[in-house]
Each structure stands twice: as structure tokens, then as C-alpha cells.
Amino acid sequence: MKNPIQRLSELTTEHSLTVAVAESLTCGLLASEIGKGENASEWFCGAVVAYQTAVKEQVLGVPDGLDPCSAECASRLAQGVRSLLQADIAVATTGVGGPDSEDGHPPGTVFLGWADATRSGAELFHFGGEPEDVLRATVDRAMILLVGLAGGQGQADGGPSTSPR
């Protein structure tokens, strides 16, 4: 069985897709993983690491005052980076890595946003362990989400749930 980065490389090439990511929680770890993909320079547009709220708002179009640990924020991050980098599909990471709670959200609360040309949405996850474990689990799940988007799969097949914009 192929690992997610091998599968993503194949699917993006097969379907002539480009990929972008916006990262808050993972702070570049997802982009680093994607960059390992075969011929990534042909299909990986790039990433925006938007750790500060002001960057999320000014660069990626997240509305002022939106909870950074929310489904709407994750979806808006994905939409913003897809538009900014003119990619076909995008995924975004946001949440609380820990070890402490933030703004009422327990550690391990993670939202993965996603967007393609016609739809966008977000998925909520609760990961356990130390902050490093949460980050690794987030990157792993984001890769699975990207593979699902690239393959055009629905949620039951391992891809994203569908939500209108």
C-alpha cells in the first residue's frame, strides 16, 4: 500500500491538479511533508504559515474576530490560500496543540479546512498526547484529506465531508 504522499503525487499528476496549504497549528510541518512528494515542484504551489491572527486576516481573508480554533476559520484559511496561490485544492490546519487549553478549547482540538473550486468545509478532530503527537496526527490526517480531495472522494471513502461555501 502506498503512503499518502506517494498517492497524492500520483493523483495530482493524473488529474493535473495543484495543491496549496495554509498552516497555523502545524507551522510548516505539512508543507515540509508535501514537499517530499515526487515532482512536487510541478503540483505543489506552496504554503502560507499564518500563525498570528493578523496574518490570517490580512493575507488569507479570515474575518476579524473569528475564533481561530473553529470550523469556519479552517474553511476560510483553505479558501484564502487556494485563491491566493491559485491552486485547485487546498487544506488548512488550525487548533490547539497543547499542552494547555486556549480560549476554552482543550489541547488536541484540531480543525482541518479544505477547499476546491466549487466547495469548502472543515472537519473536527480530537487528538491525544503531547503537543508533538498532536502535530504529527494533524499532518497525517491532513495528508489523508488531501488524497481524498485529489481523488474526488466523498467522506465515506476517506475524503472530505461536503459543505457549501
Work out the angle at residue 106's Cα, subtended by the Cα atoms of residues 27 and 98, and round it to the nearest 5 degrees. 40
Nearest to 141 by CA among 129, 124, 156: 124
Residues with Cβ within 8 Å of residue 12, at least 6 apart in sequence:
18, 19, 37, 43, 150
Looking at residue 2, its pLDDT comes to 83
- Residue 107 CA from chain centroid, whole number: 18
Check residue 153 and give its pLDDT.
Answer: 57
- Of 162 and 67, which is predicted with more confidence? 67
Per residue in 15-52, pLDDT tens?
999 999 999 999 999 999 999 999 999 999 999 999 99
Q: What beta strand segments (E) does 19-108 contain?
A: 19-23, 44-49, 89-95
The pTM of the whole model exceeds 0.75? yes
Residue 108 above 60 pLDDT? yes
